[in-house]
Amino acid sequence: MKPHTVTAHLNYFGELGVTGLSKDPVWRGRGAQARQKSAEVETEASVFAGTGSLEAIRSDLGECTRCKLSGLGRQQIVFGVGNPSAELMFVGEAPGRDEDKQGIPFVGRAGQLLTKIIEAIGQSRESVYIANVIKCRPPQNRNPEEDEVETCEPFLFRQIDVIRPKVIVALGAFAAKTLLRMDAPISKLRGREYEYRGAILVPTFHPAYLLRNSKGKREVWEDMKRVRGLLERGP
């Protein structure tokens, strides 16, 4: 393709709102098929990027059948809930049974604990935004699979880009590892801050882990104090 044709193409896609494909080196390191799929999905998601509202993202998602989870018993898509201009956003793994039933993230036992954690730093479910990496319940709450993540996460990226939170709390190993593209246990990832899509990302233990393992509560409280401090800090 001649250089001016390339420029015309880029301009055309620019006007459509296509902001480009992932340049993440870890992303590039994946298999060719996964790369191709991820590029297609991210392009699809990016094409809509000009229409920057949560409603537009939800509408683009539609009655999503892009991945196999749509045919594996999910009742509904669990998009996200809360303040569309929240300074603080929580990202979990995927809906569980209660969330799938109600269409709202973190409403089961783990969700009730999350609500208490949120309130402990002077916030509320209404002041923050809560979402998951995956918007449909995996069968038997199994871990989401790579193709499901690749298909679904561009919609989370768009949610983050529209909300533009100051701080994102990644709840649990799955969310932290997926967002950060880092393969380390949550006990190693937590305890520090990461730059992420214009926000500061703070990984912490998943509330479901705390329900089984009260030992992690002290660390979660430390992480949440860090979050509170970051929110209090100027822009």
CA distances from 121 to 34, 58, 118, 179, 231 (A): 40, 29, 6, 24, 10
b/e per residue 191-205 (b: at least 16 CB within 10 A): eeebebeebbbbbbb
Any contact of residue 132 with ligand URA (CB under 6 A)?
A: yes
Query: Closer CB to ligand URA, residue 110 or residue 118?
Result: 110
Query: Closer CB to ligand URA, residue 93 or residue 150?
Result: 93
State how far the Cα of 46 lies from the Cα of 40, in Å rounded to an integer.
Answer: 10
**Which span (10-18, 34-42, 106-114, 142-150) binds ligand URA, by CB under 6 A?**
106-114
Any contact of residue 165 with ligand URA (CB under 6 A)?
A: no
Any contact of residue 203 with ligand URA (CB under 6 A)?
A: no
Phi, psi torsion values for 207, nearest 5 degrees: -60, -30
State how far the Cα of 69 lies from the Cα of 82, in Å rounded to an integer.
Answer: 24
State how far the Cα of 125 lies from the Cα of 114, in Å rounded to an integer.
Answer: 9
Any contact of residue 153 with ligand URA (CB under 6 A)?
A: no
Query: Closer CB to ligand URA, residue 67 or residue 110?
Result: 110
**Which span (44-52, 66-74, 92-100, 226-234) binds ligand URA, by CB under 6 A?**
92-100
b/e per residue 35-55 (b: at least 16 CB within 10 A): bebbeebbbebbebbeeeebe
Minimum distance, C-beta of residue 27 to ligand URA, in the bound complex (Å): 23
**Which span (22-30, 69-77, 105-113, 150-158) binds ligand URA, by CB under 6 A?**
105-113
**Which span (30-38, 53-61, 86-94, 148-156) binds ligand URA, by CB under 6 A?**
86-94
Radius of gyration of the chain (CA): 18
Under 8 Å between Cβ of 160 and 197: yes
Any contact of residue 77 with ligand URA (CB under 6 A)?
A: no
State how far the Cα of 171 lies from the Cα of 18, in Å rounded to an integer.
Answer: 30
**Which span (27-35, 67-75, 94-102, 219-227) binds ligand URA, by CB under 6 A?**
94-102
Across the strands, what pairs with 89? 129, 168
Q: Closest Cα to residue 76, out of 104, 112, 116?
A: 104
Minimum distance, C-beta of residue 160 to ligand URA, in the bound complex (Å): 16
Taking CB atoms, the residue at the shortest distance from ligand URA is 92
Any contact of residue 96 with ligand URA (CB under 6 A)?
A: yes
Residues that bind ligand URA (CB under 6 A): 92-96, 99, 105-106, 108, 110-111, 132, 208
